[in-house]
């Protein structure tokens, strides 16, 4: 086993001794033709990422290694090699004045160069179509590393590891049309051709990634089909942004159940004073407890054709679930032309309060009232949300009591106890928010 402190710059993620003799299809893709013969770095996870050692031994990776050295270091390497469609670090970003602190970014490149959606938007579950774009067609130069559960007591990095005889690997790759600094994709079991559909195993892997990053400013997101996912191949998104999202600062009220706190110690709350109605999941004896409860909630939504978005926050300790209906309202002609003209599709990042705007006019005129009005169109009605929440609770084995009490003792989600992100080695000033 090899543990290293720094990943060297990789000339090619498809390195063979006989470089003049290409293997597979010759394109060094992530398909079954090329991936089994690759030598991608492997980040091998320990059994439970939550317990932290009191000190770092000589054979342990440093606590900030995964995010600062491996993920962001390799992301910057791909940026320097010109693999992105535009320079996201040059995009203007500001906090919109107001009580909620919505964040606005002007990202004209994403509008012009992002891959178009190739499937129906009225069905949450659709079969994988190999003829359409999927991640097996991505070049290996876009992959940063494999991300695998090793099941041991320590985490290791294997700088060059073969795939021979292993199951379909999970990989972390750059998003070539990024929204923010460090924007990557987590693609579980890339060779299995899984459609965009959450299951318990894949969701647990996403929580492991958030936990390994160990920063409240590195979040993962998921968009279902019908909720502005653009590729029908299972994936999560993630990036770094050095301010709290508005949704993380919103007040919540815990939803009491007849069992009180669930047996696995996961609590469920609902958002208050926020334009999109949503549920908040926290706690759990183990990371798997939290992952299973949220995944089972998503599975019910998928099975009942209800589009949804998920935000994984606070290093995997806090999960926001948003059933939504914006695409449905669009189809019914219920969204104002003014909002449609902005061409903003409110997916997980917009719902969380990071508004990715495509026109300079909208960016310059961005206001809290505009952000609230757009996101309010995403939300289920109060009656429909209560109905969906009741079904979700039934699916995860909870029975809601009649009374709800607002927890006003603490403002959750604000990363006030975290270290100053501007001190991290890979956070250039151009990526920080303009206050």
Active site residues: 235
CA 237 to CA 222: how far, in whole Å?
A: 6
Q: Quote the tokens at residue 123.
A: 């069905």
CA 93 to CA 98: how far, in whole Å?
A: 16
Q: Is 179 helix (H, G, I), strand (E, B) or coil?
A: coil
DSSP assignment of 270-313:
EE-SSSS--EEEEE-SSHHHHHHHHHHHHHHHHHTT--EEEEEE
Residue 186's H or E segment, with its range, is strand 184-187
Sign of the torsion formed by the C-alpha atoms of 290, 258, 409 and 275: positive
Could you tell me if 260 and 400 are in contact, meaning their C-beta atoms sit under 8 angstroms apart?
no
- Strands 103-106 and 354-357: what pairing? parallel
Q: DSSP code of 331?
A: H
Among 58, 65, 63, residue whose Cα is nearest residue 6: 65
Q: Which residues contact 234 (CB under 8 A, 6 or more apart)?
A: 187, 188, 189, 194, 195, 196, 197, 202
What's phi and psi for 136, nearest 5 deg? -70, -15
What is the Cα Rg of the chain in Å? 21
Q: Which residue has the tokens 């965009």?
A: 196
CA 211 to CA 218: how far, in whole Å?
A: 10
DSSP assignment of 216-274:
TTEEEEEE-TTTT---SS--EEEEE-SS--HHHHS-EEE--BTTSS-TT-EEEEEE-SS
End-to-end Cα distance, the chain: 45
Q: Which residues contact 365 (CB under 8 A, 6 or more apart)?
A: none
- Strands 279-283 and 308-313: what pairing? unpaired
CA 195 to CA 21: how far, in whole Å?
A: 33
CA 85 to CA 327: how far, in whole Å?
A: 27
């Amino acid at each position: 086993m090899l543990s290293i402190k720094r990943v060297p710059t990789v000339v090619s993620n498809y390195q063979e001794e006989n470089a003049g003799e290409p293997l597979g299809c010759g394109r060094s893709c992530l398909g079954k033709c090329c991936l089994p013969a690759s030598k991608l770095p492997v980040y091998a996870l320990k059994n439970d990422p939550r317990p932290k050692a009191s000190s770092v031994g000589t054979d342990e990776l440093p606590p900030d290694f995964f995010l600062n050295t491996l993920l962001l270091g390799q992301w910057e390497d791909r940026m320097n090699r010109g693999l992105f469609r535009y320079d996201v670090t040059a995009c203007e970003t500001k906090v919109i004045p107001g009580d909620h602190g919505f964040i606005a970014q002007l990202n004209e490149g994403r509008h012009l160069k992002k891959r178009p959606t190739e499937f129906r938007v009225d069905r949450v579950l659709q079969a994988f179509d190999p003829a359409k774009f999927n991640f097996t067609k991505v070049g290996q130069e876009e992959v940063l590393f494999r991300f695998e559960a090793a099941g041991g007591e320590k985490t290791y990095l294997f700088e060059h590891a073969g795939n021979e005889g292993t199951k379909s690997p999970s990989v972390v790759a750059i998003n070539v049309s990024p929204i923010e600094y460090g924007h990557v994709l987590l693609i579980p079991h890339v060779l299995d051709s899984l459609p965009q559909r959450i299951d318990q195993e894949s969701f647990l892997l996403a929580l492991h990634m958030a936990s390994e990053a160990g920063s409240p400013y590195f979040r993962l997101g998921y968009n279902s089909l019908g909720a502005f996912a653009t590729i029908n191949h299972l994936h999560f998104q993630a990036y770094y942004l050095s301010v709290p999202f508005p949704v993380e600062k919103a007040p919540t009220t815990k939803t009491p159940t007849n069992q009180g706190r669930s047996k696995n110690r996961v609590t469920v709350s609902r958002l208050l004073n926020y334009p999109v109605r949503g549920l908040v999941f926290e706690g759990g004896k183990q990371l798997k407890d939290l992952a299973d409860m949220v995944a089972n909630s998503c599975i019910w939504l998928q099975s009942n054709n209800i589009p949804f978005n998920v935000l994984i926050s606070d290093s995997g300790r806090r999960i926001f679930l948003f059933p939504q209906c914006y695409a449905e309202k669009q189809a019914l002609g219920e969204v104002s032309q003014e909002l449609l003209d902005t061409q903003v599709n409110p997916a997980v990042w917009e719902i969380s309060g990071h508004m990715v705007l495509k026109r300079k006019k909208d960016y310059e005129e961005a206001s809290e009232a505009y952000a609230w009005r757009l996101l309010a169109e995403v939300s289920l009605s109060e009656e429909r949300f209560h109905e969906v929440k009741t079904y979700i609770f039934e699916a995860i084995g909870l029975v809601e009591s009649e009374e709800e009490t607002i927890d006003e003792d603490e403002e959750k989600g604000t990363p006030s106890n975290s270290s100053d992100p501007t001190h991290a080695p890979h956070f250039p000033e151009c990526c920080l928010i303009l206050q």
